[in-house]
Structure 1
Amino acid sequence: MSSPPITGPGDEPVPSEPGASTRVAERPAEHAPSGSVTGAGGAVGSPKPGTVPATGIPVRTILLGVIGACLAALGALGAGGTLVRDPILSGTSLTWIRFGHGKNLAELVVYLGVGLLVWAWVRLGRHVRAGRVGRGGVLLAITAWAVPVMLGPPLFTRDVYSYLGQGLLPLEGLDTYALGPAALDGPISENVAWVWQTTPAPYGPLFILIAKYVVAVSGHNMIAGVLLMRLALIGGLVMLCWVLPKLAERMGGNGTIALWICAANPLVLVHLVGGPHNDLLMVGLLALGSLMVMRGKHVLGIVLVTLGAAIKIQAVVVLPFLVWIWAKRLPGSEKARFLRAAGSGMVVFFAVFAACQLVAGVNLGWIPALSANSVVINWTSLPTGLGQTLHGFASWFFSPSYDLFINTARMLGMALLGYIAVRQWWKARDGEDRNVMRRASLVLLGMSLLLQTTFPWYFSLALALAAGIALSEWATTVIVFGSSFLIAVSYPDGDAATYNFLHVAVMTLLSLLAAVSLLRPDPLRFSRRHKGAHL
């Protein structure tokens, strides 16, 4: 009986059968060995039937990511979403890392950590795509990389303090859908970013209920509040780790690659876990609900997706697509099947949403607050960026209204998004799992690009459903580039870095390097081993 493979000094699994002690050389996916997860034509598919599942543990790659995650968490003590009155560093000799050159140094530590984490993720991707590492290795990496950022200060955002404020408002007898955290006194209010101080909560009743319970337990202890909020949301990552391989099985993809693309993605770990952001729980419920519908548990699936929408309304976009899957499994004519599925789905949706509102003790006041994000003007939203560009050109000839250009571009963007959503929904009417999920993913991607305001973590919605599809090599490379770039388009404290064009240029070059590195190990040829391999 042969023993399981171990990890050799070069970070590849080493077969332990007698006479098989030679270390497997790291190779790009296009030269993958038998059992590769690179499908025909460059598509990333499932291993061939009969091949032995990969069980190697890439120890050095995982440790590289752990070092990166620890550095990011450590640097966040000085440069992250730190507290105004910090009980950890206040009164110590380390307070200098919060100001001036000290903060600049802390920022460099954060960026170095994130860079190492991206590097580890790309290395892990090469192993996975070549069939050397299986699900166990990826799950171990996800766990090891998530823990450090869960224990550190908020990374690249201060939104968690807004969450705590939105949970405290109803505990104080105030309407969280009518008032912002500025109506409160105490440490929670003073730590909320200025732009959200007077903004009512744009979140659904289920999240307000979660936030209330978190604050009810943590009180005004800010560190406890952040940690408990992360614990409340981390279930989304757990759901993703369980669901993604099963989604891939139904959608023609590879479960290990799906885990690597989405759950191990530094964009998810740094922003959704390290932030944290409530999108994490919404995305987990969205993916789990979609799987349940595909498995024939239609009512349960609609319930789960509705719970996701009761956290953030974006999840509701997927429900009309799931109706097609449900309708396909019903008897009768095409029209009758659709009407039955759509009618039943609406009944379930409204019943679940109403129950969430009743339990949370809130009304529909969050709907007007959905436009609150529009106060953030950033070119990462394509319509906003187009409006800014056109305004800049027009300014050479006359003095145009800035708001006119921005608002017009955003209206056109929303119209385009509506067209894409309707068109993709109609093309999904065959009810085939793979086709429905692919088209729903396209709409979620369109939302991330065309909404009035786009934040980096919005792209995790599309990733959660698209990761299970047999993606082409080109698409996978684009995901690596986009994820690497979006991680650090803001500063570690959450302020936007998108108008620091030197910063953007450097991030673009580094992201290109990460994308190329997925296909060509050591593209800059720093390693002697790879220099020799190219001779």
Structure 2
Amino acid sequence: MAVLEIRRKLHGESLRSLGWQGFAASVMITVASWGVGWFPRNQLSPIARSGFFIEFRTEAGGVITCIVLMAVGMVWLTRTWILTRPKVQKATEITSGQLGKLITLWSAPLIFSFPILSRDVYSYLAQGRMLHADKSPYLEGVSALPGWFDGGSDGLWAQSPSPYGPFFLVLSRIIFFVSNGIPEIGVGLLRIVAALGVLGCYHFTTKLAKKMGQNPNWANWAIVGNPLFLLTTIGGVHNDALMIAGVFSALAYAYDRRAVASTMALAIAVSVKPIVLLALPFIGLILLNKNPSKRARWIVWLKVSLLSLIWLTIIGAVTNLWFGWVPAMFSAGDAAFPYAPVGLIGWSMSQLVGMLGGNGALVNSIIVQLFQLFALAIVARLALVKNISNPVRLTAWSLSAVVLLAPIIQPWYVLWLMAFFAISHRVSWSSEKLMIYVSTLILIAVFVDQLSIEQWHTAWLMKTFAGVLAVLLFAGLFSCDSITRRILDGPSGPLDSAERRGKKG
């Protein structure tokens, strides 16, 4: 009986309880977003004229209440995610359908939230608006049209080319047209697209994990169930789930030796975010035998490159954007974040050269391009390694090189790396804990950074309060919550010890 009691405690709550706990946490986050989420401001917005939502944002008490609600909701959702971990330890302890229903409950309330953790969704609509006005987002920033700031776009993209592929830009244009410029409708439609991306990500994570001999429930728990993933893709209305689903489907089709379907899926993923084009050589490796000759590699690379070129040409012709994304992909330095290592180096050197009377912009451009070439060299080296037993793992390392050596690193880019490393092999428990802690740190950082505080409030004070509160709550979860602490001890810890003691007795 003692062993059963310990097992019950370690395995946490029932599936029903975990589902409704996550649902309640997401409800809290959704309500909180009405006060500190990103608010539509243009004249077509009915919410901007609603007194109900204004009350959440204008009064200090309302803002503080929403900050507390969101912080508690994030911690509760994270706790629910961690408590689900023992149930995915073995593929037989929970079905794929049960886990899917669980994650659906956790994310369903977020459909009704204002955008949180990011306001890029308004930039999506602004770029769709540009296309609708016959302007290319690859040649101009969103400031090319008047009223872009009232539309909610971040000033970061005011004069920077779009980093998105033609398929997603045309989709944004269609949604802008259908919404008639009303931001609530546009955000709602893009959120449906994001939710479909999460569904696709769940499906192809299951499929790819099975092909790699991995527990699909654990993979989906680690990738799709991660609160940072759900709050970014559905709460933040990001297109990252679409991209990941596209690449995972391409890799899965490659394992089925379906080169045409694989390259088509990758072309669609590239048409969402071009950076995943780097997966192409590794798709070629999957199609090969375990010990291919260099000649065989070059032949299969030529094959998949030609197929991908055909698909991308068709997409470019249909969207009439052709390959405008290629130069735009290499010009992200125009929107570099100083806290990205390469962005910091480029910015620092450009400032120094500018103070000395030189061309700082040129220096920054050269530094960014040198690091981009270095990243491509790493990708090439990984594609040529002798051991190709795990091409998906090689893809993960390649993506890491390109992301970490880029001039701009958004916090959710780490989700891509986690997804590819998690699907490529079953990581150690210490790596799992690192994933949990890194996700938590990023969640806190983005929560504080992306709070939408009205100008009549003291923003730094509100954000300081939010940061301190979130840190204290998460510290309490990891150090004081007994069930969470037992689970974080690891699957080979107290449970196995208790079972051994029970057998001896």
Confirm or deny a common fold (TM above 0.5).
yes
- Equivalent residue number for residue 162 of structure 1: 123
Letter in 2 for 1:457: W
| TM-score, with length taken from structure 2 | 0.81
Any idea what SS the aligned residue of 1:190 has? coil
Q: Is the 8 A contact 1:424 1:439 kept in 2?
A: yes
Which residue of 98, 114, 121 maps to 1:153?
114
How has the CA–CA distance of structure 1 residues 249 and 509 changed in structure 2, closer, same or farther, with 3 Å as cutoff?
farther
Q: Which moved more, 1:186-195 or 1:453-462?
A: 186-195
Q: Is the 8 A contact 2:137 2:161 kept in 1?
A: yes
- Equivalent residue number for residue 437 of structure 2: 481
Which residue of 231, 235, 258 maps to 1:274?
235
Cα distance in 1 for partners of 2:400, 2:209 equals 18
- Equivalent residue number for residue 449 of structure 1: 404
- Equivalent residue number for residue 224 of structure 2: 263
**Post-superposition offset of 1:464:** 2.9
- Equivalent residue number for residue 338 of structure 1: 297
How has the CA–CA distance of structure 1 residues 513 and 307 changed in structure 2, closer, same or farther, with 3 Å as cutoff?
farther
Q: Is the 8 A contact 1:58 1:133 kept in 2?
A: no
Is residue 417 from structure 1 mapped to residue 375 from structure 2 by the alignment? Answer: yes
Relative to its length, the structure with more helix (as a share) is 2
**Post-superposition offset of 1:426:** 2.2
Q: Which moved more, 1:259-268 or 1:489-498?
A: 489-498
Any idea what SS the aligned residue of 1:296 has? coil
**Post-superposition offset of 1:403:** 8.4
Equivalence map 1:83-94=2 (5 Å): 83-85=40-42, 86-88=45-47, 90-92=49-51, 94=53
Q: Is the 8 A contact 1:202 1:369 kept in 2?
A: yes
Q: Is the 8 A contact 1:142 1:264 kept in 2?
A: yes
RMSD: 4.0
Cα distance in 1 for partners of 2:473, 2:377 equals 35
**Post-superposition offset of 1:493:** 7.6
Is residue 25 from structure 1 mapped to residue 7 from structure 2 by the alignment? Answer: yes
Q: Is the 8 A contact 1:481 1:515 kept in 2?
A: no
Letter in 1 for 2:247: L
Q: Is the 8 A contact 1:309 1:316 kept in 2?
A: yes
- Equivalent residue number for residue 74 of structure 2: 114
- Equivalent residue number for residue 177 of structure 1: 138
Q: Which moved more, 1:186-195 or 1:404-413?
A: 404-413
Any idea what SS the aligned residue of 2:151 has? helix
Cα distance in 2 for partners of 1:111, 1:378 equals 27
Any idea what SS the aligned residue of 1:362 has? coil
Give the length in aligned residue pairs: 473
**Post-superposition offset of 1:291:** 0.6
Q: Is the 8 A contact 1:246 1:291 kept in 2?
A: yes
Any idea what SS the aligned residue of 2:134 has? coil
Letter in 1 for 2:7: A
1:103-142: CA deviation from partner (whole Å, max 9, x where unpaired): 3332332222222111111111233227743423321121
Equivalence map 1:152-301=2 (5 Å): 152-185=113-146, 190-301=151-262
- Equivalent residue number for residue 78 of structure 1: 35
Structure 2 gap segments, 5+ residues each = 453-458, 490-494, 499-505
- Equivalent residue number for residue 463 of structure 1: 418
Cα distance in 1 for partners of 2:77, 2:70 equals 11
Q: Is the 8 A contact 1:76 1:110 kept in 2?
A: yes
**Post-superposition offset of 1:290:** 0.6
Q: Which moved more, 1:256-265 or 1:207-216?
A: 207-216
**Post-superposition offset of 1:342:** 1.0
Cα distance in 2 for partners of 1:133, 1:176 equals 45
Which residue of 465, 486, 497 maps to 1:521?
486
How has the CA–CA distance of structure 1 residues 28 and 391 changed in structure 2, closer, same or farther, with 3 Å as cutoff?
farther
Any idea what SS the aligned residue of 1:521 has? helix
1:265-310: CA deviation from partner (whole Å, max 9, x where unpaired): 1111101121111222111101111111011112211110111011
Cα distance in 2 for partners of 1:284, 1:198 equals 30
Letter in 2 for 1:521: R
Structure 1 gap segments, 5+ residues each = 1-18, 33-55, 525-529
Which residue of 295, 301, 314 maps to 1:355?
314
Is residue 59 from structure 1 mapped to residue 16 from structure 2 by the alignment? Answer: yes
Q: Is the 8 A contact 1:253 1:471 kept in 2?
A: no
1:119-177: CA deviation from partner (whole Å, max 9, x where unpaired): 11111123322774342332112111222112211111111111111112222222232
Which residue of 39, 44, 64 maps to 1:104?
64
**Post-superposition offset of 1:247:** 1.8
Letter in 1 for 2:40: L
| TM-score, with length taken from structure 1 | 0.77
Is residue 68 from structure 1 mapped to residue 38 from structure 2 by the alignment? Answer: no
Letter in 2 for 1:470: R
**Post-superposition offset of 1:24:** 7.1
Post-superposition, which runs of at least 4 consecutive aligned residues in structure 1 deviate over 6 A? Answer: 386-392, 400-409, 495-506, 512-519
**Post-superposition offset of 1:476:** 0.8
How has the CA–CA distance of structure 1 residues 406 and 187 changed in structure 2, closer, same or farther, with 3 Å as cutoff?
closer
Which residue of 82, 97, 104 maps to 1:136?
97
Cα distance in 1 for partners of 2:321, 2:393 equals 35
Any idea what SS the aligned residue of 2:49 has? coil
1:480-533: CA deviation from partner (whole Å, max 9, x where unpaired): 111122123124683699997887677667667767779733889xxxxx9xx9
**Post-superposition offset of 1:450:** 2.9
Q: Which moved more, 1:109-118 or 1:476-485?
A: 109-118
Cα distance in 2 for partners of 1:480, 1:137 equals 22
Q: Is the 8 A contact 1:251 1:470 kept in 2?
A: no
Q: Percent identity?
A: 21
